[in-house]
Every structure is written in C-alpha cells, then in structure tokens.
Structure 1
C-alpha cells in the first residue's frame, strides 16, 4: 500500500463536485451540503496494509480478543462521574466526555457531538462497561455532528436516528450517502485538509470544521472496506481557539503535520485504549505512550484521553490504559493540569 501524501500530492485525490466551482475555490471553504463524487476506494490512504488471512488465523489461535478474567476485575473502578453540562456562555469552549469517542463540545455558541454512541451495546462487543455520561434528554439542541469513520463504535445507527434530520452532519469523504439514505438533509463530506464553516448560534462569527488525516481504515459491511475515508476533526471558533478530535488512529507522521498546520491547538482529544495485542492493533490504535507522543508531536496545550473505559474491544486490562498514561505523562515533565483525564460524564472548560 502507498503511504498517504500531503495535500495535493500522492495519496490525496479530491472528490468532484456535482456543482461547478464557486466561491469555495477562492476562500478555501467547501460549501455546506454539496453532493460530491468520490473515488471507489480510499485504500491508497492506508498507512499500513490491512491484516491478511494469516494474521486473522493467528488472532483466532491466540484468542486475544478480550482481557483475561484478571483484567476485568477492576471494572468497578472505571471512572464514572456524570455531572451537569457546563454553562455555554458566549465565547465558552467546554467539553464533556460521554464515553468512548463521544464528546459534547460547546464551541462558538454551538453544541457539537463527536462520534455519538448512546447505545448500550454495539455490534460484536459486550454491553458498555460504564453508562453513557450524559443522558440524551439532558443534551441541549445539537447544532452539528462530526463523524471520524464508519466503524460501529463510532457510527451508531440507533443514536444517529434520534437526531433531527436537519442536523448538520460533517462526515468523511464517501460516507455522505449513508446519511442521505436516512433522510439527513444537511450532510457535508470532506476530504483530508478540507474545511467547511457553520455560522455560530448568534449569527455572529462561525465555527470551522477541518477534516484531517488519521492512521486508520474503514469498513462497515463485507463489501465496503476503505470505500469511505477516515480521519479527525479540528474545530476552530471565531477567536481562533482550536479543539482537535482525532477519532481512531495509530501513531505516525500525521501528528507533526497537523501540528505544523495548526500551531497551538488548545485541546487534543486522543485515544489511549483498544491497543492489545500490539502486533494486531499497532498500526490503527495508539497505546497510551504513543498517545502522549502524538500530543507532543502536535504541540498542543492540553490533552484529553478517550477510547477507553467504555467498550471491551481488545485484550488489555480495563484500567491499564489510564495507569500507563499517567506514567507516560509524568515522564514528560509537563504540568499535571494539562492532562484532562476526565471520568465518563466529566467536563472541563477551556480558559483563555
């Protein structure tokens, strides 16, 4: 497989718009809701080849899909502390971890959900280890949703079905049809490094949504491997504050490039779980030490870990991601307050 390339270079093939070029070509912003045509496959964006038959046979032999009994004994210690959502004052940037990769982000007077999964269980995994940290009925009106990729623990059809069909959806290239078939009318598909803008709640200013690369892949059915793209999102408010949601990703060169293009990211939400066994998952999921290294590569100001304490997706003990993260963080010498290791349901407000 070829390695992904920088914007405009090898490995980056923008989609074709059904409409002709307009002001977006001048401003660099993609129009909201434009239906676009994409390549049949994004497999050339893979950082590493996908596992083959031999790797799958080895996984079956080892039976390393779930933690051993000793690795599950700490389930009662998983952090769960739901609280009221922070007041969304004008100019506030606040985040609340609903669990796994689901965040409630208050930014630019908008409420944005990331990879919303409010279901108790998802296909192929046991039920949630911790409840959802924010009750659905306690959510404010949802102004936008961002999706990182189409795996079931990030794109949950029952949760999506609970949203009004006019909710703006920001999704990876090639995934728009999934939403339009479910009658969503404001679906914006973006390629890596493309940006769209949504007006803020008051009509003054806006929030920018930029889709950025990740070291991952996509698959939802037996026949759609890499038919849609995968990546993370950078949300930028009118004051220039930046929140980076990585989605699923392994460690690699993209973090330095994202940091180069976006200096001084205020908050990076990075995955620390679902990493064992490493021979199977290293190319698509960071372990805690790699997540800290990715944070340093980004040059971000604060880090919020995610993608742990919710679903059993791999074989590491359930509390191990946090303990390894805390050790890796201590080795950096960075201030402890820059690590936002929130409990499920916990919130933090970004100060100036």
Structure 2
C-alpha cells in the first residue's frame, strides 16, 4: 500500500479527501456515507500525513527477491458442479472460485504492476497461477475495492472483451470502470445488499475495515467491502477482500448473519510496520482470529508474496500464519497460505 503512490501523493490524498465533491457516487446519507465520503462506523481513521511519510521514510524494509516462482500452476476445469467447491489462488487477492456450475473471479489482476504507471510501482515477482488463456469462461467478477492491487482496469477490459461477465462492485466503483471501458458490465451495490448471481447462488456485500483511493483527491469516495457467497449445494464462502481487524465486529457479524462458511478467503499479508498498517490490513494473527469469529470450516490465506507493498519479508506471512495457528491450537491444514497456482478443493458439502 505504502509503495503505490509515494509520500507526497499519500500526503496529498489525506488532505484531498476533504474536498466536498464525489465524482463517483451521489446518494443519501447513511451510517457509512456522509454525503461525500464513505467511512467505517466505530472505526475512526487514526493516521495522519506525517505518519504516512514516517512509515515510508523510517521503516526498514526486508529485501525481496526480484523473482519468486511458485512451484504450482493450474489449468482449471470448465465447470465444477454438484456439491463440489474448487478454489485456485491466482495471486495476491485473485482467486477463481468454481461451484454449482458458476465461475467467479475475485479482484482479478494479471498486469505486471499494481500501479497507475506501467514503469513504476509494485511489480509482480511471481507469474499468475493460472495463465489468462487457461481461464475457463468467467461468469461473475467480484471487486472488493478500488486500490490498484485489487482493481486492475487492463485485466477488467480483457475479461469484458473475452467473456462479458457481470461485475459486482461496491458503490462508486462502477463509475471508475465505466469511465475506463463502457463494455464492462459493472453493477454497484451497498453493504448488506444481496445479489442474485445465478439460480440459487447469491453474493451479499458485507463491511470491511478499509478505505479507497485511485489518486490524490478521491480518498474514501468509493465504497469497499467483503463478500459472503451462498453457492447452493456447494455451501458458503467468505471473501474478505482487504481489511483490518479492528475489534473483529465485521467478522463476527458476517459469521452470525451469513454463515456457517465452508471456506473463508482471508488476507494475511502487507502488515508491517504494524503501528501504521494495523488500520489497513490484518496480520496472520488477526486473520486467525477472524477465521474463528467467522466460524468457517476451512480458510486460505491470500494478499501475500506477489506484490511488495509493505516492509515484511516475502515469506513472513506464511511463517507467521503457522505460528498463529499453533498458538491458537488450530490444525494447519484448516488454514493454508496458498501460493499462486495452488488449489483448495472439496468434493462434498460441509
């Protein structure tokens, strides 16, 4: 996150969010929208522009390799039916979820950089776990928010041209997609909206502790979310998108209102320095707590080992997850830190 725009732009973004105009969304005031900006109720933003520049300038960053190839690769089947559930990690927050004859992509990014620029910004250190040409036909895309490591406009245009999928986004993100490519079939929804994806298959947008921005003046002006999926005979899946832990209320509520989940897909990376990133991202210990609050049978960890966004080592999330699971006395096979191309699969309903 810190590497996406640099200190001057981050500082400008903190000030720019106060501008009383929202070019993405216009709607009634709610408990998480003040008429211009979206916010997390009960989760006030703690950082300042000075904090952002301190985090960038003073934090010691553990070196990453230029390349970190995954030992896995995958060529998915055309469809998965019945009670089967198949999830392949493509990289970062991108997953292909196959169940009930429906193919769903989360936060698809096939570009080499998570950045507004092709020549600078976080660069991919591992190839996507599924080549774009090997993707089956995509029916649904779920976008959690508009940061460059989650909303990749180039990939969205490729998907629109090839498969014309429905794209389910939180409020305001549809305007970003349409401004780039009117062929993208974006549908915007609010927290708690339940969207029919296919016969008996739904997605509900749920709160996440995060934020949004594509530039220096649009901070908090498009909504962010997690998704609770009901996949009929294949069970329920939670996709966390990108979130801090806070007090855990969003995960507890999701488990109570939308569970029990067969699988939770939770971010475990981009968490150091903790004093700064705690409001933005969970660390593995937080993710294990979220897993417990969700009441999920199994989980996979994402948002690590692909784009360098913060200060921790490339393999620290997987190592820290193993420690957190041992401390919580949870069997490691229940919560796996997937590398790109690695598959989580179950043939029968939970």
| TM-score normalized with structure 2 length | 0.83
- Work out whether 1:103 is the aligned partner of 2:95: yes
Cα separation, 2, equivalents of 1:43 and 1:342: 31
What number of residue pairs does the alignment pair up? 310
**1:100 Cα deviation after fit:** 0.1
Q: Which residue of 2 aligns with 1:118?
A: 110
Q: Which residue of 2 aligns with 1:244?
A: 238
Q: CA RMSD in A?
A: 2.2
1:152-174 deviation line (CA, Å, top 9, x unaligned): 00001111110126320100111
Q: Which residue of 1 aligns with 2:182?
A: 183
Q: 2:81 aligns with which of 90, 93, 100?
A: 90
Cα separation, 1, equivalents of 2:326 and 2:40: 37
Q: Which residue of 2 aligns with 1:224?
A: 218
Q: Which residue of 2 aligns with 1:192?
A: 191
1:61-82 deviation line (CA, Å, top 9, x unaligned): 4044xx333xx36964x64411
Cα separation, 1, equivalents of 2:184 and 2:110: 22
Change (3 A) 1:118 1:307: same
Q: Is the 8 A contact 2:80 2:86 kept in 1?
A: no
TM alignment of 1:261-340, pairs within 5 A: 261-340=257-336
**1:216 Cα deviation after fit:** 0.3
Partner SS state of residue 205, structure 2: strand
- Work out whether 1:153 is the aligned partner of 2:144: no
**1:238 Cα deviation after fit:** 2.2
Change (3 A) 1:73 1:147: closer
Deviates more, 1:257-266 or 1:136-145: 257-266
**1:11 Cα deviation after fit:** 1.9
Q: Which residue of 2 aligns with 1:5?
A: none
Q: Is the 8 A contact 1:116 1:156 kept in 2?
A: yes
Q: Is the 8 A contact 2:153 2:177 kept in 1?
A: no
Q: Which residue of 2 aligns with 1:22?
A: none
1:323-342 deviation line (CA, Å, top 9, x unaligned): 11011112222233212332
Change (3 A) 1:46 1:160: farther
Q: Is the 8 A contact 1:274 1:285 kept in 2?
A: yes
Cα separation, 2, equivalents of 1:82 and 1:321: 21
Q: Which residue of 2 aligns with 1:48?
A: 44
**1:12 Cα deviation after fit:** 4.3
Q: Is the 8 A contact 1:80 1:130 kept in 2?
A: no
Q: Which residue of 2 aligns with 1:57?
A: 53
Q: Which residue of 1 aligns with 2:169?
A: 171
Cα separation, 1, equivalents of 2:331 and 2:197: 34
**1:237 Cα deviation after fit:** 1.5
**1:60 Cα deviation after fit:** 4.0
**1:56 Cα deviation after fit:** 2.3
Q: 1:211 aligns with which of 198, 205, 215?
A: 205
Cα separation, 2, equivalents of 1:343 and 1:54: 35
**1:240 Cα deviation after fit:** 6.4
Q: Which residue of 1 aligns with 2:31?
A: 11
Q: Is the 8 A contact 1:86 1:94 kept in 2?
A: no
Partner SS state of residue 162, structure 1: helix
**1:198 Cα deviation after fit:** 1.8
Q: Is the 8 A contact 1:125 1:312 kept in 2?
A: no
Change (3 A) 1:219 1:46: farther
Q: Is the 8 A contact 1:247 1:271 kept in 2?
A: yes
Cα separation, 2, equivalents of 1:73 and 1:169: 34
Cα separation, 1, equivalents of 2:234 and 2:136: 24
Cα separation, 2, equivalents of 1:45 and 1:158: 33
Partner SS state of residue 79, structure 2: coil
